[in-house]
Structure 1
Amino acid sequence: MYVSNENWQADPREIEAIVNGRHGNAFAFLGLHQVGGTSVLRAFVPHAQTLHAHTLEGTELGPMIQRHPAGFFEGKVTIDRPQPIRYRAANEGGEWDVYDPYSFGPVLGPMDDYYIGEGSHLRLFDKLGAHEMEFEGIHGTHFAVWAPNAQRVSVVGLFNEWDGRRHPMRKRMDTGIWEVFIPILGTGTVYKYEIVGADGKLLPLKADPFARQSELRPRNASIVPDPTPFTWTDGAYLEARARKDWRRSPMSIYEVHLGSWRRRPDGHFLDYDQFADQLVPYVADMGYTHIELLPISEHPFDPSWGYQPTGLYSPTARFGDPAGFARFVDAAHNAGLGVILDWVPAHFPTDEWGLSHFDGTALYEHADPRQGYHPDWNTAVYNFGRKEVVSYLVNNALYWLETFHIDGLRVDAVASMLYLDYSRQHGQWVPNKFGGNENIEAVEFLKRVNSETYRLHPGTFMIAEESTAWSGVSAPVHSGGLGFGFKWNMGFMNDTLRYMSREPVHRKFHHNDMTFGMIYAFSENFVLPISHDEVVHGKGSMLSKMPGDDWQQFANLRAYYGYMWGHPGKKLLFMGQEFAQREEWNDGKALDWFLLDAGMHEGVRRLIADLNAAYRELPALHARDCEPDGFEWIIGNDQHNSVFAWVRRAPDADPVVVVSNFTPVPRDNYVVPMPIAGRWIERINTDAGWYGGSNGGNQGAVTAAAVTGRHMPAEAKLYLPPLSTLVLKFEGG
């Protein structure tokens, strides 16, 4: 099998290791090497019977001798400096060219090693994964992946017949990152990593953790993305965004699951460009400020709604390619809309081709299932104690904000990250080093990702889905908080929906459900969320939660929306609820858009549009959403009539009074204390005929008369329509 051994010829054992895919350091063996003063080229080219080496200019370098019939060649050459090598391979079927990846140096440098080792590298998405580039005069793709405990890592795909022996990577010993530059490969190349674990066993092929593009399920390989920079046209929007203080700006969010918002007539998904053409103008016309997308990172299982992501850096292929998603965001910005992404750093699925036991060890997750397994979702929990894992996640957040100009991230399941005993019984969790249940490493991760986000991307924001009483979720890191910009107010949602689900005759006994939230309303910067979670798993639609006959259900819902938009806090409504979808949300089909042909449903849609317009136009309704001096109760204790009234204020702006009547009883000459005497315009009346109501009201305006000896300087006698909310704006005196 072998020619007679000379001092420059390879050890047959190393040749066997290459041929059998067991060599742990291919770069130390393949390519150009100096052996006892002799320049030697070694190459492994399966199927080749002859091999001739050339420089890029075409100069033949010397004969290559086949040392192993599987395709290993070796030969003395006349060059003594590293340079790209091209081989001309041949067999009975023909000839082909092979560019030697082992004749190229490393792409990553010592500063990358330093910052990666320190855990402070904030451009990992430019370094790891697959990047098409020009390198040492050749066009190709650089691949890099973290697998510190692997014995071998190779790039595999159709280009090498999924043969892991052919493109083993170079290991950077200081960081555990493997890299290789493969000439010629470029945009659209489908690939995975073949990994031999620390125990010598071959693992299932792995998708790239940093892949920027992925195959459409059920396939799950990674794709080399097009490196062409996207041409953005949203400069004016970003410039204005950078000056925003979102706590004091209107924020009305339309939450969307792209797969079921609307579909094509054949039932297939719309693509990103169709969402740009249809979703963006619809949301803009409705007066919202932001679109929030349920997770669009690549995920294998549709009914997970994206909360089981396997491609954290890949916009899902269900709706098109990454450039299509960028066009969608660009269109939204040009329509004046921000885009928020649901982001899932708390856990990941255990699909064998994903992050789970990535290099044969518990790498991204904890090895101890009491720390590394989540019982609620049957998922793995990130090990926030590893700087590489923290860097992976921090870089992911920054990647979406930078690469796709995303305006904010809503961080899913924050409570599950904060508490070591979340959904666990005694003995099923590991206390922290102080004996407590706080996940100290996760807390530090959240502080870090929030700090870097606000530092590097002014005008963007982070929102926490956090349902406990953890203090300072939306307080700055420098003052001891977690550093989020906002927190979902789950208490408001639970209390008020419980109240609204009761028959009006019983509501007076549960009056505090509507007032209790004001005790803590300014302890955080809150978003009031009526999200997808409230209309699934048997909870019914918003309309079906309301009691009474059909007319009363619509009136209740309109009155509730008026109450919510008048209440302090940013607003969020899940798709379909803006027109009172009757059925519970079903992710497998489109919303029931035909309902808009019915007057009552169209009326609710008109109301939401008008509420958004009033919310944006009137500073009193948004400028002090997060500050107590913007709110004062006028009537908070009329439980007998189930009436609530309050005033909203903002500096240098007219006040607004909101009055809600949550019984089906109209109330004439109802006396409401007012903050200023004079004329008040009925800016919103949820009982208006335009919205499908009974058209009762105050002829468009009321006059508040001055009074003395009361807690307010004026009073007005109002007609309160049944099951209604009025929004009154001061016009002057």
Structure 2
Amino acid sequence: MDPLKNVLINDILNARCADPFGCLGLQKSKTSSGFTLTVWRPTATAITVISLTDDTVLGKMDCLHKDGLFELSFPKAKAPFYYRINVTYGDNTYTIVDPYQFSDATFHDPEHHQANLYKSQGAIHRGAYINKQLTINGTRFAVYAPAARSVSVVGDFNAWDGRLHPMSSNGDGIWRLFIPDVNHGARYKFEIRANNGDILPHRSDPFAQRIEQYPSFASVVCFDEKHQWQDEQWTQRPLVDIYETPMSIYELHLGSWRRKEDNQPLTYLELKTELVPYLQEMGYTHVELLPISEYPFDGSWGYQPVGLYAVTSRYGTPEEFKELVDALHQANIGVIMDWVPAHFPADSHGLANFDGSKQYEYPDPKKGWHPEWNSLIYDFGKDHVVNYLISNAVFWLEEFHIDGLRVDAVASMLYLDYSREEGEWIPNQDGGNHNYEAIAFLRRLNETVYLNHPRCFTVAEESTAFPGVSKPTYMDGLGFGFKWNMGWMNDSLEYIKKDPVHRKYHQGELTFSMVYAFDEQFVLPISHDEVVHGKGSMIEKMPGDPWQKFANLRVFSAYMYFHPGKKLNFMGNEFAQGQEWSHQRSLDWHLLDIDYHQGQHRLTQDLNHLYKNEQALHLDHSGHGFEWISYDDSANSILVFVRKAKEYTAHGIAITNFTPVPQANYRIGVPEPGRYQVIFNSDDGRYSGSDYLLSQGCQKNHIYQTEAIASHDKANSIEIKVPPLSGVFLKWLGE
């Protein structure tokens, strides 16, 4: 036997072969004419070779080694041929197609392989997809593991035996193998032998589109040709300036929005039935899903993902998730998903120490370990990591028609010393704390999204003063479309928690946000993070007796919708969820039987529709859409400001009173003479308010006529009646 082949055969017998095509399948004979066929089937007792195209028996193989190595010579064969084998194990015989006759399938990517969908990203071609070779159905497996000694595919189809299907690499670090008759739904993982000879825990496929839950965490071959998208009217809608259109976002955790009687979460298809009409009725423009990439631990809510390409199987299949997205689009509701490229957990089936080396994470824990979340940080300096992440972002936009990516934990990516003490981090080349590699990654990500998908957008969860987060990259920005306004959130929540008697000393906490309101393209977030970990629900944050608590929440809600910036509210806030959120139970929908909660629900619905219908509230990104009338009436804790449409002909006046004291005769200057109509009042009895204006004969739709009396540096003014703890919006009707 050829010495080299002898070495390879020895590696095969010991499950450490790195070049199975060098010794298995048909090999050109080096000592005589023809070909020699070598087959490895552990514990087989006999093997017969049959033509692939008919039932011609080509010969019975000789046992070369008792462990299951067989050989048969074809001295008259002029060229390679394709074959099947009948493999006998004791009394049972099975027919299989030997994968080691398809070397071309191993070293050439099929046309519809996932990475080819994103050629602009230069992604490494790997993953598992059903494809066809010579009318033989099967799956082409591939995985990037450049430091591995050997790699095998294991799964249900080979009894999870790493000896049966060793993969091959051509030196580029990618291990490949086409296995016939392994089709949609097959469960598999990769068995990787590290360079030191150790067999690592079985790894899930980093590109798998489906991964099972605990305890298997098995990847599942998944190729969807079933769903026929019907959202063309949405995906091909005219391009508009997203900064001048309303965006009211409902942040949603799929598993705890509503639950069944047995406390099981709704499936994607059940959510399609129940969630879509609810969002339509409530007037939301977008829904934002907490991470739906697969994750092993329920308590992480998806923010510790293992399987960025896999839709979580907790609620159904990828095809069923597509049905949900399709239905949302047909209802004119955009879909945003939380996306987590900052870090990943150290679960043994994931990316950590993937091939026995630090392929995905920074090697030095001072840069590669996240102390706050006990997770690993992607090495943004490696091309294959950057390609992996950016291809994933594009994958969600193209394969699942996702409209927006809210990028989690951006601040932790930007700063090398994030959540670290002195001496626990490595400065950059200039001695500073900015992670240049992460910054370059984020810029490339945003350029890729906006250049290729102009209807889509990105949002940064970024809590620092890093400059230009939502500025284009050509202006030296990071290129995000939006940034969460964490300053507004923190200041306004701190203010609203205070007893109204003390608020006059803290007026600046509300007004300061307008100093920087147009420095970035902001989203105003009241997210899941504000109603967990002992922070209490929104209604629990409010001071006072029950009436005052709900009145405070109503005026806060109105203030949020009046304030420049897109709106985001976590589920349950719309009806004043009672207890703080838990991912293990449903929202308290029974509270809608109580007037106060029902009133908050109606108020949220009306604010959404007010926001969508009033052009004066749409211009969020420019100071041209905002003008103070009164910001310094701290004695009464009242704010008055103008919101203006782009053409200015449409404008309105927002008044918020953060005390329980009504103001019967409150004069404010106005931009234009004419008539101003009350079109929203959070104190309305419809919302369980006091109906103060109604008792004064000034209910909703009441019209105030301006007077030529100067006030607030304006030539004209109106004298209005301001209800207690209320937000009121007046619309200018003209002269």
In 1, Cα distance between equivalents of 2:417 and 2:427: 8
2:301 paired with 1:305: yes
Question: What is the match of residue 234 of structure 2?
Answer: 237
TM-score, normalising length: structure 1: 0.96
1:482 offset after TM fit, Å?
Answer: 0.4
Question: What is the match of residue 189 of structure 2?
Answer: 192
1:10 offset after TM fit, Å?
Answer: 8.0
1:643 to 638, 647, 668: 638
2:624 to 626, 629, 651: 629
In 2, Cα distance between equivalents of 1:353 and 1:664: 57
In 2, Cα distance between equivalents of 1:326 and 1:220: 22
* Secondary structure at the counterpart of residue 565 of structure 1: helix
Conservation of the 8 A alpha-carbon contact between 1:298 and 1:309: yes
In 1, Cα distance between equivalents of 2:273 and 2:289: 16
Conservation of the 8 A alpha-carbon contact between 1:486 and 1:526: yes
Conservation of the 8 A alpha-carbon contact between 1:245 and 1:459: no
CA deviations on 1:32-68 (whole Å, 9 max, x unpaired) are 1112243111110123211122231133334421111
* Secondary structure at the counterpart of residue 14 of structure 1: helix
* Secondary structure at the counterpart of residue 272 of structure 2: helix
CA, structure 1 residues 446+82, in 2 after alignment: closer, same or farther (shift >3 Å)?
A: farther
In 2, Cα distance between equivalents of 1:635 and 1:247: 26
Structure 1: runs of 5+ lacking an equivalent: 1-6
Give the total of aligned pairs: 723
Question: What is the match of residue 366 of structure 1?
Answer: 362
CA, structure 1 residues 470+612, in 2 after alignment: closer, same or farther (shift >3 Å)?
A: same
2:348 paired with 1:356: no
Question: What is the match of residue 25 of structure 2?
Answer: 31
Conservation of the 8 A alpha-carbon contact between 1:8 and 1:35: no
In 2, Cα distance between equivalents of 1:291 and 1:724: 27
Conservation of the 8 A alpha-carbon contact between 2:459 and 2:482: yes
The one-letter code of the counterpart of 1:717 is E
Conservation of the 8 A alpha-carbon contact between 1:704 and 1:714: no
1:480 to 470, 476, 501: 476
Conservation of the 8 A alpha-carbon contact between 2:115 and 2:125: no
Conservation of the 8 A alpha-carbon contact between 1:632 and 1:648: yes
* Secondary structure at the counterpart of residue 319 of structure 1: coil
In 2, Cα distance between equivalents of 1:639 and 1:353: 57
2:70 paired with 1:73: yes
The one-letter code of the counterpart of 1:21 is A
Conservation of the 8 A alpha-carbon contact between 1:131 and 1:227: no
In 2, Cα distance between equivalents of 1:311 and 1:116: 15
Question: What is the match of residue 655 of structure 1?
Answer: 651
In 2, Cα distance between equivalents of 1:117 and 1:218: 29
Output aligned runs, 1:140-539, within 5 Å. Answer: 140-174=138-172, 176-240=173-237, 243-539=239-535
Question: What is the match of residue 131 of structure 2?
Answer: 133
1:116 offset after TM fit, Å?
Answer: 13
Question: What is the match of residue 3 of structure 1?
Answer: none
In 1, Cα distance between equivalents of 2:175 and 2:592: 56
1:533 offset after TM fit, Å?
Answer: 0.4
Please identify, of 223-232 and 449-458, the stretch whose mean Cα deviation from structure 2 is larger: 223-232
2:58 paired with 1:64: no
1:92 offset after TM fit, Å?
Answer: 2.6
1:11 offset after TM fit, Å?
Answer: 4.9
Question: What is the match of residue 713 of structure 1?
Answer: 715
Question: What is the match of residue 91 of structure 2?
Answer: 93
Question: What is the match of residue 731 of structure 1?
Answer: 733
1:676 offset after TM fit, Å?
Answer: 1.6
In 1, Cα distance between equivalents of 2:405 and 2:78: 53
* Secondary structure at the counterpart of residue 198 of structure 2: coil
Conservation of the 8 A alpha-carbon contact between 1:370 and 1:429: yes
CA deviations on 1:153-204 (whole Å, 9 max, x unpaired) are 1110121111111111111313x11111100010110000000011111000
In 2, Cα distance between equivalents of 1:106 and 1:649: 64
The one-letter code of the counterpart of 2:14 is N
Conservation of the 8 A alpha-carbon contact between 1:630 and 1:650: yes
* Secondary structure at the counterpart of residue 313 of structure 1: coil
* Secondary structure at the counterpart of residue 261 of structure 1: coil
Conservation of the 8 A alpha-carbon contact between 1:150 and 1:197: yes
1:94 offset after TM fit, Å?
Answer: 2.1
In 2, Cα distance between equivalents of 1:465 and 1:390: 19
Conservation of the 8 A alpha-carbon contact between 2:208 and 2:307: yes
Conservation of the 8 A alpha-carbon contact between 2:8 and 2:19: no
1:499 offset after TM fit, Å?
Answer: 0.5
CA, structure 1 residues 255+12, in 2 after alignment: closer, same or farther (shift >3 Å)?
A: same
In 1, Cα distance between equivalents of 2:582 and 2:77: 66
In 1, Cα distance between equivalents of 2:654 and 2:115: 56
CA deviations on 1:621-646 (whole Å, 9 max, x unpaired) are 01x10111110001111011100010
In 1, Cα distance between equivalents of 2:629 and 2:571: 33
Please report the RMSD computed on the Cα atoms of aligned residues, expressed in angstroms.
2.1
1:702 offset after TM fit, Å?
Answer: 3.2
1:69 offset after TM fit, Å?
Answer: 1.3
2:104 paired with 1:102: no
The one-letter code of the counterpart of 1:723 is L
In 2, Cα distance between equivalents of 1:391 and 1:9: 40
Please identify, of 74-83 and 279-288, the stretch whose mean Cα deviation from structure 2 is larger: 74-83
Conservation of the 8 A alpha-carbon contact between 1:84 and 1:100: no
Conservation of the 8 A alpha-carbon contact between 1:287 and 1:612: yes
CA deviations on 1:1-21 (whole Å, 9 max, x unpaired) are xxxxxx579854432321110
* Secondary structure at the counterpart of residue 311 of structure 1: coil
CA deviations on 1:363-396 (whole Å, 9 max, x unpaired) are 1001110011000000000000000000010011
Percent identity over paired residues: 48
In 2, Cα distance between equivalents of 1:85 and 1:442: 50
TM-score, normalising length: structure 2: 0.95
CA, structure 1 residues 294+102, in 2 after alignment: closer, same or farther (shift >3 Å)?
A: same
In 1, Cα distance between equivalents of 2:674 and 2:214: 63
2:541 paired with 1:541: no
Question: What is the match of residue 45 of structure 2?
Answer: 49
Conservation of the 8 A alpha-carbon contact between 1:631 and 1:648: yes
In 2, Cα distance between equivalents of 1:81 and 1:263: 62
CA deviations on 1:194-225 (whole Å, 9 max, x unpaired) are 00011111000000000001112333010011
Please identify, of 16-25 and 519-528, the stretch whose mean Cα deviation from structure 2 is larger: 16-25
In 2, Cα distance between equivalents of 1:9 and 1:427: 54
1:107 offset after TM fit, Å?
Answer: 3.8
